[in-house]
Amino acid sequence: MGRARRTNASVGLLVVCCVAFAAAAPLVAQERSTVVRVLEEGSDFRARVRAAGALGSSGDARMADPLVRALGHDDNAAVRAACAEGLGRLGVASTRTALERAMHDESDSVRDAATRALRTLTASAPPSSATRTPAGSPLPTPPTGGAIDWTHTSYVVFVGSLSDRSGFAHARLVTVMSTEVRRALGGVHGVVVLGSTDPRADADRESAARHLPEFRLEGSIARVLPQTSGHDLRVRAEVTLVLMDETTRNIRASLNGAATGSEPAPATAARAARERYLAEQALTSATRSAMSGASRAITGGH
């Protein structure tokens, strides 16, 4: 993916590369042209991030074109992520192709923003015979239960209780954690992932017949802490996961992860929403960090 050359420094992050946008009032036509120039020509990435946010909040479908261009060519990941978020808010169906390309961006934050934008486009599209993913729902995860290819299964992992003990007020956090846990487990070769609603008797019967090891994974969101540092808003997330033998409940591994999302501090009115956004981003990275040790814990290093 080609990037325009700029002299600005890259966005400052601790673990998660996150985006910022200005909670702007509706832009008049002249202001929009000025903001477009800032997005396309501005030397400061922070100004380009805010410009992308303002265009995305404009409600003007014509602003999708400059966002698409910057999404494909800006050299700063925070700007590209802000463009993807802006396209999601505009909801212009023709931008789907650009967002799908962004799903292969080198930056996690851009891929995540593009995923959310595509989810929004799908949810707002007219009903069809195709299955739609509602906005705010978890990302698709590897199939659990149902038709399992037991001949290629080496391990069974039951996902047990995942709880939020952080005290941070955001109902989606457990869903975010669960999505990343299942995604990571689904990437371990030979693992079948089962939840509480999957048929347990079938799994136990197949496991016993094939002598398959069974494990249970449980965990919690231990901490979500927003704080202001200088001109930045930061949110730190910490998770604790425990992998146990299903039968004996002996602990096989303790998996811990932490991450911090950071962006320029928003206006007071937008702070709560941005804290929730950064909490999701930090929690995603914290869970991925913790689950990076899951494969070795399950397979014993094989």
- Quickly state the pLDDT bin for 3 (edges 50, 70, 90): low
Please determine, for residue 22, whether its predicted confidence score (pLDDT) is greater than 50: no
pTM greater than 0.85: no
Which token pair is 169? 């007020």
| DSSP designation for 93 | G
Residue 48: pLDDT above 80?
yes
Better pLDDT: 270 or 71: 71
pLDDT in tens, 248-257: 999 999 999 9
Give pLDDT, residue 202.
79
CA distance 220 to 239: 6
Return the pLDDT at 301. Answer: 55
Give the model confidence (pLDDT) of 151-165 as tens digits.
889 999 999 999 999
Position 31 scores a pLDDT of 65
Q: How many whole angstroms separate alpha carbon 260 and alpha carbon 234?
A: 7
Q: Locate the domains of the chain by residue range.
A: 16-124, 150-299
Look at domain 16-124 and name its CATH class.
mainly alpha
Rg (C-alpha) for the chain, rounded Å, is 21
Residue 7: pLDDT over 80: no
Assigned superfamily of 150-299: Lipoprotein like domain (3.30.160.150)
Distance CA 120, CA 267 (A): 25
